[in-house]
């Protein structure tokens, strides 16, 4: 079975950043229906990748490290960190994959020993909605980081420290741009409307034994080297959005008369 290490010290940052350009993503991301054992195909639509999730089915997020070095993957499901349960941010804890390793993350991490299964469920029954965070239901995301290499900077004699700035008295006035950022925007309103149309989300399913270890990881830089998203919904909504073709139905044919519809002669109905 697949093996993964969980990163508990997510606030560590590198001594120095390193830049290495490679073709392709650090981590391949796929969604697997655990009840059928099938990979869910992804469909491109207006710059997004979509998969069709069947309500009631358990699923897993399959992560594959495509490099010969360790990588850290912060996994977000419906805008919630799958390890810590916090509203997701790239700086948080995640899973560390060894070189070329593949791991299937099948649930919300409850401890180093067990998870609560990911399951496609009604939007209102999703873990994010039940914890008051329905805004981002319907998206699976990863933020992947390279690991920093040891770096020893050259030694320079210390120079005298500059004189400190005088303390600033009073609160700084809020700038116009800050006021605009604080005010609700049309984008937020559109996002809320989108969330209200989302049919399914990811529920907090049954407990399952899924042990992992803990390790340290120093990120090569603060910003992730890869950010990927997969959106999902139930098949009938993807058909309505034009992402999936409508299901095939054979053309209607009027039933032709049959010479032997039954085996015996039935009594005619009585006149009333």
Show me where the domains of the chain are located.
Answer: 5-151+193-240
The DSSP code for 187 is H
Query: How far apart are alpha carbons 167 and 252 in whole angstroms?
Result: 82
Q: Are 20 and 67 in contact (CB under 8 A)?
A: no
Instruction: Kindly state the tokens that stand for 120.
Output: 């496609």
C-beta separation of 2 from 103 below 8 A: yes
pLDDT at residue 18, rounded to an integer: 35
pLDDT means over runs of 10, the chain (272 residues): 44 35 80 96 94 97 97 98 97 96 97 97 96 96 92 62 45 38 43 63 97 94 96 94 81 70 71 62
213-215 and 5-7: which strand pairing? parallel
pLDDT of residue 246: 87
Closest CA to 136 of 80, 205, 54, 52: 80
Question: What integer pLDDT is reported at residue 263 of this predicted model?
Answer: 67
Q: Which of 220, 207, 60, 203 is nearest to 138 (CA)?
A: 203
pLDDT (0 to 100) of residue 247: 80
How high is the pLDDT of residue 59?
98
Predicted pLDDT at 257: 78
């Amino acid at each position: 079975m697949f093996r993964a290490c969980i990163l508990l010290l997510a606030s560590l940052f590198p001594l120095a950043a390193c830049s290495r350009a490679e073709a392709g993503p650090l981590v391949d991301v796929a969604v697997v229906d655990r009840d059928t054992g099938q990979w869910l195909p992804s469909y491109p639509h207006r710059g997004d990748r979509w998969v069709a999730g069947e309500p009631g089915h358990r699923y897993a997020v399959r992560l594959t490290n495509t490099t010969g070095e360790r990588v850290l993957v912060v996994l977000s499901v419906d805008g919630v960190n799958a390890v810590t349960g916090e509203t997701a941010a790239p700086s948080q804890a995640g899973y560390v994959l060894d070189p070329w390793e593949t791991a299937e993350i099948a649930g919300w991490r409850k401890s180093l020993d067990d998870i609560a299964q990911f399951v496609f469920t009604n939007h209102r029954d999703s873990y994010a909605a039940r914890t008051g965070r329905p805004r981002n239901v319907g998206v699976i995301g990863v933020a992947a980081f390279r690991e920093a290499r040891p770096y020893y900077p050259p030694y320079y004699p210390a120079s005298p420290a500059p004189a400190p700035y005088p303390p600033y008295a009073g609160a700084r006035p809020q700038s116009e741009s800050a006021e605009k950022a604080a005010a609700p925007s049309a984008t937020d309103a559109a996002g809320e409307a989108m969330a209200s149309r989302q049919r399914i989300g990811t529920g907090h399913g049954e407990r399952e034994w899924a042990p992992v270890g803990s390790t340290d990881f120093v990120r090569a830089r603060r910003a992730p080297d890869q950010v990927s998203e997969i959106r999902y919904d139930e098949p009938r909504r993807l058909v309505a959005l034009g992402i999936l073709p409508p299901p095939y139905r054979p053309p209607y044919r009027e039933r032709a008369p049959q010479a032997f519809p039954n085996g015996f002669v039935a009594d005619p109905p009585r006149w009333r």
